[in-house]
């Protein structure tokens, strides 16, 4: 059980090549994911106290699975994809994966300094989307160049840019979202071919949460570009 508890820390997830999944629904979905399940621990077998020790949740779930990390994925410059430039919050990352699953996006790219996808809080927030959506860590500026070289536009989300509700949006391309505090970095911003903004109709809030901005932006792209 000490090994399972150690998986709350990234260095041990990296060292062992394992991560945890908690909750009856998530563990049930895991069975159809194609990922290798190393171990399943149930509260009825080990007791409440053990589940409390090994769980990373505030309220331990009745079942926990230890899963082997999949091999790194790959994806060419195609389809409608998201690129996350230094997104650090686990809840945001998991929620963005969930909306990528909902809207049928082709892939999610993330900069190496973004939060790790196998962080237990990311896994929980994804609500199973981690089993279905590819998330690839890479140089986001280079990925922008790759999409542009393939003849696809790269859309950056900024506080100043074209009104997204009035913009003509294609069915394919790369949508870049920035860090929760600092937005898109200068290096990545210089590789964006178009800037988009979600206009405010109130004016009180300084900005939108990145996962909320992602949902609005992707919804607009799907509405304009057509469902595929």
Interval 72-94: pLDDT, tens:
999 999 999 999 999 999 999 99
What distance in Å separates the CA atoms of residue 28 and residue 65, rounded to the nearest whole number? 10
What distance in Å separates the CA atoms of residue 204 and residue 185, rounded to the nearest whole number? 25
Kindly state whether residues 145 and 46 are assigned to the same domain: no
Q: What pTM does this model have?
A: 0.93
Kindly state whether residues 158 and 204 are assigned to the same domain: yes
CA neighbor of 54 nearest in space, from 70, 68, 44, 65 = 65
Count of structural domains, the chain? 2
User: Which residues span the domain enclosing 6?
Assistant: 2-68
Each residue of 140-149: pLDDT tens digit?
Answer: 999 999 999 9
Residue stretches of the chain with pLDDT short of 50: 226-228
Instruction: Provide the residue count of the chain.
Output: 228
10 Å CB burial of residue 180 (0-12, 13-18, 19+) is: middle
The pair of structure tokens assigned to 198 is 């979600």
Kindly state whether residues 34 and 86 are assigned to the same domain: no
Kindly state whether residues 61 and 97 are assigned to the same domain: no
CA neighbor of 87 nearest in space, from 50, 123, 117, 62 = 117
Helix (H) / strand (E) containing 46: helix 43-46
The runs of H, that is alpha helices, within 109-228 are 120-126, 140-149, 186-189, 210-225
CATH number at residue 142: 3.40.1280.10
Give the other-Cβ count within 10 Å of 40's Cβ: 15
């Amino acid at each position: 059980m000490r090994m399972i508890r150690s998986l709350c820390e990234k260095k041990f997830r990296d060292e062992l090549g394992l991560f945890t999944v908690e909750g009856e629904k998530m563990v049930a979905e895991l069975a159809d994911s194609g990922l290798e399940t190393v171990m399943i621990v149930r509260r009825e077998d080990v007791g409440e106290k053990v589940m409390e020790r090994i769980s990373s949740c505030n309220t331990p779930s009745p079942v926990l699975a230890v899963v082997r990390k999949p091999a790194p994925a790959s994806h060419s410059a195609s389809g409608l994809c998201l690129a996350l430039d230094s997104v650090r919050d686990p809840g945001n990352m998991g929620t963005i994966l969930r909306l990528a699953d909902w809207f049928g996006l082709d892939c999610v790219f993330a900069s190496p300094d973004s939060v790790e996808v196998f962080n237990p809080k990311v896994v929980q927030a994804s609500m199973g989307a981690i089993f279905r959506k590819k998330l690839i860590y890479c140089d986001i500026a280079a990925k922008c160049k790759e999409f542009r070289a393939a003849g696809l536009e790269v859309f950056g989300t900024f506080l100043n840019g074209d009104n997204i509700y009035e913009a003509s949006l294609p069915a394919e391309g790369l949508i870049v979202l920035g860090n929760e505090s600092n937005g898109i970095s200068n290096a990545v911003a210089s590789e964006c071919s178009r800037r988009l903004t979600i206009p405010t109709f109130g004016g009180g809030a300084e900005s939108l949460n990145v996962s909320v901005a992602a949902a609005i932006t992707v919804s607009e792209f799907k509405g304009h570009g057509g469902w595929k």
